[in-house]
Amino acid sequence: MYSYNLKEAIQEIKKQKAKKVLLHLPDGLKPKAKEIQEEIKKELNTEIFIWAGSCYGACDLPLETKNLGIDLIIHFGHTKWQN
């Protein structure tokens, strides 16, 4: 069973004033991607995109997002990590 903190994610989106957000999920959470996206959209008027490519950890960030105008990447992983 997975546990994720959507309140913290929503707070960070608000703090960053992000309009385009990318969800970066490990394979085990990808089946819940739509559910996570909908929960965030209930709280915010923000475009939420789901990365369907690989996710081998926090070091495997999708760099292609720069061309898409993504403001913030929210990475869900196995260990809490903040910069």
- 7-66: per-residue pLDDT in tens? 999 999 999 999 999 998 888 888 899 999 999 999 999 999 998 776 655 555 666 667
**Joined tokens for residue 68:** 């898409």
Range of the domain at 65: 27-78
Q: 43 lies in a domain?
A: yes
Q: 34 lies in a domain?
A: yes
**Residue positions counted in the chain:** 83
**Joined tokens for residue 55:** 């996710």
At 31, is the secondary structure helix, strand, or coil? helix
Q: How many domains, the chain?
A: 1
From residue 36, how far is each of 47, 52, 61, 66, 73 by CA, in Å?
A: 13, 14, 19, 22, 14
0.75 surpassed by pTM: yes
Please check the confidence at residue 80 and state whether its pLDDT lies above 80. no
In which order are the strands placed within the sheet that holds 20-24? 47-50, 20-24, 72-75
Q: 72 lies in a domain?
A: yes
**Joined tokens for residue 47:** 């475009």
Q: 37 lies in a domain?
A: yes
Q: 53 lies in a domain?
A: yes
